Structure 1
Amino acid sequence: MSNEFVTRSLDEVRFWSRIMKEHSLFLKLGFRCEDTQLINEANQFYAVFEAIEMKANAFTVGTDPQTILRFNQEVHNAASHIWAFKRKVLGLILRCQLPGANNFPLLVDHVSREAFYFRNRLEELNTGRLEPLPDAIIDENVFFLRIMADHAKFISHLLDPSERKLVDQANQFSHDFDQLLFQAKDLESMRPQSQTAPLLDQFLDQNRVSVKSLRDFKKTARDLIEACRIKSIIHPLLADHVFREAERFLFIIDMFENSLTGKPVPALHNVMD
């Protein structure tokens, strides 16, 4: 137990509790007006993660590690419950029990994968069983490359079809990130032999270039949506949500790059004293 444990825990909880809170809102907006039970459950999860977010923001890096360990356990429980809720919703959609609702099955699967990732990260922190750097580099990139590919698909399908240029750009990003994901999966299946510093360094460099391009596209789309300059059914908060996740991925890539090359690791930007 150390300050590093506290710092990393607060960084994860502050980032992902906000994401979970927003997922609750997006799911609620996609339900039909008659789905009152599901809407109520989504509202409850929104309140739970808003309270977690506020509590996390009240802690500092000087907080007693045992307090943070107990807090992580509480958040782990909440993440497990919202994961189960998301999987329940996915099952209802795939069994055609919510006809006319507006949550894509892939979107619900996507947000459930993020809940499972968050839950596992808290487990790793509390048990001290963090992956070795080479494994973490591959696994985190496999996870986030799929997230980025999904985002491009969602943007394409939620833009108005008349926004042909933006739809084409989103589809191209979807294709590019599918290819990057396939490459990452190849590197994954070749390990441990693939886990050489030159290969991992090139892997990070290549992904960084593509994620920066997607991040910039998301920022442009977000700004246009907020200014009501393009036609879409994308909630402005969703546009900002996917932009923040791209920023998160870029930060993780840079952190891995610095660890791999021996450079100083940048301070976690979500943690404030």
Structure 2
Amino acid sequence: MLSKEEYTKLSLEYNLFFARIMKEHLIFIEASLPIKNSKLILDVDDLKKDFESFLLEISYLSNRRVSEKVISSNQLVTPYTMNAEMLTEFYTGICIYTKITEVEMNLEPMCNAGYSPDLYKKIYNLNIEAIKLVEKLIDMKQKLLKDTLNCNIFITLYPLLLEHTFEEAKVYLNILMKLQNLDESVLNDNILNKEVFWNEIMEEHSMFIRGFLDPTEGNLINIANESAGLFEELTEKAKEALESNYSPEEVTKESIEATEQIKEFKTEATEGILNCNIRSIIIPLLADHVLREANHYLTILKSSN
């Protein structure tokens, strides 16, 4: 069973990472819907605002209560996040509350943070709020995916990308449920289970980047293709290791090397998109978004290794 101190720290860290990811999914959906769907666009924007309000409160609570490892990993914000948000707002007209990023850029790590019953209760209630928000988001994504697959709506996002965001939301919801039950498996789940999930996420990122690049960007397309193939292989290796009860060390080592490579590729791609040096239809915030997910995955891998 998780201690109250562990619960508090983990709740803040997971919400900082995943709530931002969720609200950015909503930005990507909003930017990809035709004006005909103005009612849906407004509903998406309203839910995005709810996530922003939640995330701002979590961000203020997190100062001096989360680990140096999480802050320095660049999984919460990167040096590019603010510019990516501002440029995305300029391109799309979608309002993005950059105050959250400003607060998170100035977070200080845990420093003799004590546990208090009032703080525990506050975070417990915030987790309940997060669960409601994520459940609402999952319902919205399910309906949007169904309408897309049934050709009842047009959206400039791949169906696989919608499924991808749906799976990430389910992982976030599962973590929140475990936290509320003080389930210590949120701390010590088999690393191979995480590698199966996150290697597949990295593979799909590579495929999305490949598909959003201009056809003239041959070199970058080739790199994305190779990356997708590598992570596909690593997903299968992790599955085989799970089924055979193999030691995860060698698979995890390969996953770290591959994720370091894709992190470098995503960093260069983010810089290129922000500086208008890459031909693509990649939203600037999407480039930073997938970079942060690679940073998050690296933190998981290195913590287990």
When the two structures are aligned, how many residues end up with a matched partner?
A: 250
> Unaligned regions of 5+ residues in structure 2, if any?
66-113
Aligned to 2:170: 116
Instruction: Pick closer, same or farther for the CA change 1:58–1:135 going to 2, 3 Å.
Output: closer
2:304 aligned to which of 252, 256, 259? 256
1:215 aligns with 2:267: no
Report the aligned-residue RMSD: 1.5
- Aligned partner of 2:195 among 131, 141, 151: 141
| Structure 1 runs of 4+ with >6 Å offset | none
Alpha-carbon offset, residue 132 of structure 1: 8.0
Match of 2:211 in 1: 157
Residue by residue over 1:11-47, the C-alpha shift from the partner in whole angstroms, topping out at 9 and shown as x without a partner, is 0001111111111000111111101122112101210
Q: Supply the AA of the counterpart residue of 1:234.
A: I
Does the alignment pair 1:72 with 2:132? no
Query: Which aligned pairs between 1:1-273 and structure 2 lie closer than 5 A?
Result: 1-60=3-62, 61=65, 62=114, 64-99=119-154, 101-131=155-185, 135-190=189-244, 193-194=245-246, 199-257=247-305
Distance in 1, matches of 2:165 and 2:300, equals: 19
Amino acid at match of 1:81: K
Q: Distance in 2 between matches of 1:236 and 1:184?
A: 32
Q: 2:241–2:248: 8 Å Cα contact kept in structure 1?
A: no
Aligned to 1:263: none
Please give the alpha-carbon distance, in whole angstroms, between the structure 2 residues aligned to 1:30 and 1:116. 22
Corresponding residue SS for 2:35: coil
2:132 & 2:296 partners in 1: Cα distance? 23
Q: Deviations for 1:177-211, whole angstroms, at most 9, x for unmatched residues?
A: 11111111212223xx33xxxx2222211100000
Partner residue of 1:264? none
Pick closer, same or farther for the CA change 1:230–1:35 going to 2, 3 Å. same
Q: 1:119-153 deviations in whole A, cap 9, x for unaligned? A: 11011111022328774312111111111011000
AA partner of residue 79 (structure 1): V
The two structures have a TM-score, normalised by structure 1, of: 0.88
For residue 116 of structure 1, report the CA deviation from its aligned partner.
0.6
Structure 1 runs not aligned, ≥5 long: 258-273
Which sits farther off after the overlay, 161-170 or 127-136?
A: 127-136
- Given residue 124 of structure 2, which amino acid in structure 1 is its aligned partner? L
TM-score, normalised relative to structure 2: 0.79
What's 1:261 paired with? none
Q: In 2, are the aligned partners of 1:20 and 1:115 still within 8 Å (CA)?
A: yes
For 1:236 and 1:141, the matched residues in 2 are separated by 27
